[in-house]
Amino acid sequence: MSAAVMAPGALMRAEIAEQPARWRDLIPTQRTAWEAAIDAFRAATPELVAFVARGSSDHAAIYGQYLVQRVLGLPALLTTPSLHSVLGVTPAYPSGVQVAISQSGRSPDLAATAVALRAAGLPLLSITNDAASGLAGLADVHLDLAAGPELSVAATKSYTAELLAVHTLARGVAGEELPRLEDEVDALATRADGLLDRLEVEVGPIASKLADVERMMLVGRAFSMATAKEGALKLMETSGIAASGWSAADATHGPLGQVDEHTLVIALTGASAGRESVVDFAAAARARGVRILEIGPAVIPGSTSIDAAAGVPDELVPVLEILPLQVLAAELAILRGSDPDRPEGLRKVTLTR
């Protein structure tokens, strides 16, 4: 059936459901490339890891920034592509390695950044969903996300594949064997299969009660900062809801003053680290009359909760806790009369300069 006659959201829903199967392909389909990437990373003996990304991939890079610093003990930063593509400036980097993350691998500003950083001495490891892309061709080592074609404008399976790719790379560099990491991904995929089955039942009624909400604030800490940013983007791009993602520490400043009974706060409490500050922010927001949806273990009194990642290590929680937000974004878009597969004014590939 062609996309032109598909029901609204059919592509996005199918790609959400496909994620666990695609995760299982990530390591075994390209074991040699994984070994080469890990070896190249170690050979660079980096003092710094620089992530190159935009959009949803930038949120995967935020996750990578936390992960590299925790797992490898190396400073990590998000590059600013405009420095290279607009201002023509390349900072003096210490010895390092760059990790470029992009679904399409085609954006000119990312290519310009990667070229500039290579000239500054940082070897390039690229992670894309297109092995024939320009960013893949530039790389010293390329890792394919193995997510398969993604046709809905909203990134879902490519995003979670990026998270797992960054996790596999960091853990592999730290010395964990690929077979063990493959087993870990397989177990996570099995967990996700059950979660997605449950979300088919749980999310619909929740979405029906939230269809009139015009403002949402997603709040997390540490690894879940990536989820807060990505979840907000999914809600904005699929249905036009004014959504923003925040650290609970930052949100207690100006953003708290903007919430009221017309606001939904989505509290990300799945990870144990930082949970207390998210709960504290939710309590302060609730005192201002907001509704609260908790993605976590039901620790916020009076909230609606979806527990997506009970018992999962903190660093893997973002892979699972984004799933209910993907499903919610699709459901809300349809309830509000939009097609999440083809949001008005948006394109799948954005070629920024």
pLDDT in tens, 36-86: 999 999 999 999 999 999 999 999 999 999 999 999 999 999 998 888 778
Residue 1 pLDDT greater than 90, yes or no: no
**Lowest mean pLDDT segment, chosen from 169-183, 206-220, 337-351:** 337-351
Residue 167 pLDDT greater than 90, yes or no: yes
Mean pLDDT of 130-150: 94
Structure tokens that stand for 199 in this block: 């979300």
**Identity of the residue numbered 86:** V
Cβ atoms of residues 221 and 248 within 8 Å: yes
pLDDT at residue 309, rounded to an integer: 96
Q: What confidence tier does 28 reach under pLDDT thresholds 50, 70, 90?
A: very high
Report the alpha-carbon distance of residue 284 to residue 286 in Å, rounded.
Answer: 5
Whole-angstrom CA distances from 251 to 55, 278, 280 are 21, 10, 11
Structure tokens that stand for 10 in this block: 């059919």
Contacts 24+ apart (CB under 8 A), 295-303: 295/227, 295/266, 295/267, 295/268, 295/269, 295/270, 295/321, 295/324, 295/325, 296/267, 296/268, 296/269, 296/270, 296/321, 297/269, 297/270, 299/269, 299/275, 300/267, 300/269, 303/267
What does the mean pLDDT of the chain come to?
A: 93
Report the alpha-carbon distance of residue 245 to residue 90 in Å, rounded.
Answer: 29
Mean pLDDT of 290-315: 95
pLDDT at residue 348, rounded to an integer: 53
Q: What is the largest CA-CA distance in the chain?
A: 55
pLDDT in tens, 11-21: 999 999 999 99
pLDDT over 70 for what percent of the chain?
96
Residue 106 or 98, more confident: 98
Nearest to 59, CA basis, from 229, 219, 224, 216: 229
pLDDT at residue 103, rounded to an integer: 92
Structure tokens that stand for 183 in this block: 């087993």
Task: Say whether 242 sits in a helix, a strand or coil.
Answer: strand
Whole-angstrom CA distances from 246 to 219, 226, 228 are 5, 9, 6
Report the alpha-carbon distance of residue 17 to residue 13 in Å, rounded.
Answer: 6
Structure tokens that stand for 256 in this block: 């708290």
Residue 2 pLDDT greater than 60, yes or no: no
- Domains, the chain, ordered by start: 10-185 (3.40.50.10490), 205-336 (3.40.50.10490)
Mean pLDDT of 120-149: 95
Residue 110 pLDDT greater than 70, yes or no: yes
Report the alpha-carbon distance of residue 61 to residue 41 in Å, rounded.
Answer: 16
64-81 burial, b if ≥16 CB within 10 A, otherwise e? Answer: bbbbbebbbebebbebeb
pLDDT at residue 202, rounded to an integer: 96
Mean pLDDT of 294-323: 96
pLDDT in tens, 201-229: 999 999 999 999 989 999 999 999 999 99
